[in-house]
Structure 1
Amino acid sequence: MAQPYADPLDAPAEINRLAAQSQLTAITQAGARLVAVGARGVVLLSDDAGQHWKQAKVPVSSDLVAVQFPDASLGWAVGHDGVILHSADGGESWSKQLDGRDLLKLLTAHFQAQAEKGDERASQYLDLVKLNFGNGPEQPFLGVWFENERDGFAVGAFGTLMATHDGGKSWESWIEKIDNPNSFHLNAITGIAGELYIASEQGTVFKLDRNQQRFVPLSTGYAGSFFGVVGDQRFILAHGLRGNAFRSTDGGQTWSRVETGNAAGLVASAISDKGTLLVASQAGAVLRSDDLGRSFSALESVRPYLFAGLSQVDGDRVAIVGMSGVQIAPAQ
């Protein structure tokens, strides 16, 4: 007998003994622990550098897209159906802080109140909210970043941008606080050397202007989409479609194209404390740079499949996730 339909927002993630070989989309570190997330609400934990994995308890079965831990205990994961999840125990258990149903109510009330005060842009944002949620609470969050235990942002499709200043207990719209009139998708958000960057479409990287308290666009000279931004205090690198990568050494004011030697989308990246940069390709390659993103070479030890995320395990190994689960490979 067929099982009755359960909305992913109402159905906890099923425990699957083969979860480490299932579709995974992102991976990060929570202290010494690896935390990976993926389809149908799967969250996996490893305390031995990826040799063994256990599945965490998750209250939803919506696909999860991104995960970040500002410290070893506190973490956030985001994904489809407007889901924002929070863990206070290093990923062992998760609670839902926001979903698409709540997001629709929150944004509608917010922009209605602004429109009633005569804010013409608020009426336009209200129309956008109605359009985006016309088929239900399905709009995904695509990235999340917390600077500390209280201050964080979640970004997503069609310019969705939310902020919290109380660790996610409450969320507020920042859609009107980003110079994004075309409602570009906000594909990832990353903190680098005290600055905050968002990877977006049409060659756009947004940077938080802390004085204005809004995100402003940086023009890279590229016309395609970026999927991520990575770097340290010396440089930043935006990477995206068809192997394209653009590098800046002045906080995004000027950019130069970098030859990556790869023609597939560059979907994920990580940099070690020593400055070793790794970038994952959609087509199954991992590129390494030891000169701050000026040049790249492919890791020969990687088993190729459709990659989606990566994290440096230590100076010698990299954890990569994608359609075939998780892979641990030498980073040399």
Structure 2
Amino acid sequence: MRYLSFLCISIVSYSKLGKCALFCCLASLSLLVHSQQTGPETKRSDMTVADNQSFLAPLVKESLLLDVAQTNTTVVVGERGHVLVGNLDQQEQLTQVPVPTTVTLTAVDGFGDTFLAVGHDATILRSTDSGQTWEVVFSSVDLDRPFLDVSFINEQEAFAIGGYGLFMRSSDAGKTWEQVQHFSLLSPDDIEYLESLADDPEFYQEELNYIFPHFNRISRRGDAIYLVGEAGLIARSADYGNSWERYDIDYFGSFFDARELSNGQILAVGLRGNMFLRGDDGQWDRIESCITTSLNSIVEQNDDVFVVGNNGVVLSLDPSQLSSNERAQTNNENCSGHIALSKIDSAISSSITNAFMLDGVLSAVSANGIQPVE
């Protein structure tokens, strides 16, 4: 029940936590109902392991799915511990595999044959055989916060991030994890506030537990690592995550993804259609998207760039046009979007958290499962 309150309150405050508040809240509801049906979890030292493995659902490809990762295979994760594994580009080859948890899995990433999946109850799963079998390497209900993203930095280094500044690091390809805090990811006001509590260590620690913003997504381009979250957080690390520089941007809503594009520009997307670009001059400029719903992910497929979001939104982006000040023709809602963006019509109406190429077609990872975009 604790996650139901935590995540649903997030909808009111900033409309998305991590992959998207709607998804996480729906996932929490599903998880709550499922836990009532399957009974309590069993504790083993500091980890929690479900009594039963994930349920093999006949309609799993139409269930709430939240993320996808591709290396030499494709792995998709979602509610109730659902994990689908298969061929890189054939949907009929995607099949569900059992995993030793029923918590909602919010994110997945892979490096070679090794995959990591993370989710609620601060759970981390690991596979070393391209997603065929999994083990729980970390889980803690007591942390009282979910993981929202996971990313390999190289073959050995990996990060897992989540609610209230949850940040864990592995240096052995996900076998073991340690929790770390980076004060440079706090806003200047929050740092000043903590410094004012120096004479009260107990209260300082109490505030420290919840003062960090939610960390929503990590991405990498070359040696640069980007982290985004709520309260306008965009940060960059140039030393494999050992230190971070927080960008100053005139926006205080949540960001859900940021990517350094092939042309060196940095694109960030977030709440209520907000999109910002950091150009060659180092300034962040708002890009008009004419979208009022949340934008969840920036998807790069070969030379194509897409932005996906709630209500089935899929935008095609031309990076070569981003530096232009031109606007497209005014739409039916009297909005003129940036010339670099064009909306792709599709039959999808549910929230989309990510997308990938399947059977040669851009396919959405969505609240209604895997759906073709075009």
| 2: CA distance, partners of 1:211 / 1:4 | 41
The residue number in structure 2 matching 1:133 is none
| 1: CA distance, partners of 2:240 / 2:257 | 24
Q: Does 1:242 align with 2:262?
A: no
User: In 2, are the aligned partners of 1:243 and 1:262 still within 8 Å (CA)?
Assistant: yes
| 1: CA distance, partners of 2:272 / 2:292 | 5
Alpha-carbon spacing, 1:298–1:88, altered in 2? closer, same or farther (3 Å): same
Alpha-carbon spacing, 1:91–1:255, altered in 2? closer, same or farther (3 Å): same
Q: In the TM superposition, what is the alpha-carbon distance from 1:179 to its structure 2 partner?
A: 2.9
Alpha-carbon spacing, 1:196–1:138, altered in 2? closer, same or farther (3 Å): same
Alpha-carbon spacing, 1:325–1:4, altered in 2? closer, same or farther (3 Å): closer
Q: In the TM superposition, what is the alpha-carbon distance from 1:30 to its structure 2 partner?
A: 2.4
Q: In the TM superposition, what is the alpha-carbon distance from 1:50 to its structure 2 partner?
A: 4.4
The residue number in structure 1 matching 2:54 is 13
The residue number in structure 1 matching 2:350 is 305
The residue number in structure 2 matching 1:91 is 131
User: In 2, are the aligned partners of 1:238 and 1:245 still within 8 Å (CA)?
Assistant: yes
TM-score normalised over the length of structure 1: 0.81
| 2: CA distance, partners of 1:225 / 1:147 | 24
User: In 2, are the aligned partners of 1:177 and 1:213 still within 8 Å (CA)?
Assistant: no
User: In 1, are the aligned partners of 2:89 and 2:357 still within 8 Å (CA)?
Assistant: no
For residue 289 of structure 1, the aligned residue among 289, 293, 317 is: 317
Identity %: 29
Number of aligned residue pairs: give it.
Answer: 290
Q: In the TM superposition, what is the alpha-carbon distance from 1:329 to its structure 2 partner?
A: 2.9
Q: Deviations over 1:60-79 (max 9, x none)?
A: 111000111123x1111111
* Partner SS, residue 202 of structure 1: coil
* Partner SS, residue 219 of structure 1: coil
Alpha-carbon spacing, 1:173–1:51, altered in 2? closer, same or farther (3 Å): closer
> Which has the larger displacement, 169-178 or 321-330?
169-178
Q: Deviations over 1:167-216 (max 9, x none)?
A: 12221222145432440000111112321011111212011142992122
Alpha-carbon spacing, 1:211–1:57, altered in 2? closer, same or farther (3 Å): closer
| 2: CA distance, partners of 1:158 / 1:144 | 15
Q: Unpaired segments of 5 or more residues in structure 2?
A: 1-35, 42-47, 191-210, 323-339
User: In 2, are the aligned partners of 1:270 and 1:312 still within 8 Å (CA)?
Assistant: no
User: In 2, are the aligned partners of 1:277 and 1:292 still within 8 Å (CA)?
Assistant: no
User: In 1, are the aligned partners of 2:219 and 2:225 still within 8 Å (CA)?
Assistant: yes
For residue 257 of structure 2, the aligned residue among 228, 245, 250 is: 228
Amino acid at match of 2:246: P
Alpha-carbon spacing, 1:286–1:3, altered in 2? closer, same or farther (3 Å): closer
* Partner SS, residue 121 of structure 2: helix
Q: In the TM superposition, what is the alpha-carbon distance from 1:137 to its structure 2 partner?
A: 4.3
User: In 2, are the aligned partners of 1:239 and 1:246 still within 8 Å (CA)?
Assistant: yes
The residue number in structure 1 matching 2:331 is none
* Partner SS, residue 283 of structure 1: helix
| 2: CA distance, partners of 1:9 / 1:261 | 45
TM-score normalised over the length of structure 2: 0.72
User: In 2, are the aligned partners of 1:242 and 1:264 still within 8 Å (CA)?
Assistant: yes
Larger fraction in helix:
2
* Partner SS, residue 129 of structure 2: coil
* Partner SS, residue 222 of structure 1: coil
The residue number in structure 1 matching 2:5 is none
* Partner SS, residue 111 of structure 2: coil
Amino acid at match of 2:91: Q
For residue 139 of structure 1, the aligned residue among 121, 142, 145 is: 145
> Which has the larger displacement, 293-302 or 57-66?
293-302
1:17-96 pair list within 5 angstroms: 17-31=58-72, 33-47=73-87, 49-52=89-92, 53-71=94-112, 73-96=113-136
* Partner SS, residue 272 of structure 2: helix
| 1: CA distance, partners of 2:76 / 2:241 | 35
Alpha-carbon spacing, 1:148–1:281, altered in 2? closer, same or farther (3 Å): same
1:105-184 pair list within 5 angstroms: 136-176=142-182, 178-180=184-186, 181=190, 182-184=211-213
Alpha-carbon spacing, 1:292–1:223, altered in 2? closer, same or farther (3 Å): farther
| 2: CA distance, partners of 1:305 / 1:326 | 11
Q: Deviations over 1:201-234 (max 9, x none)?
A: 1212011142992122112221210011123342
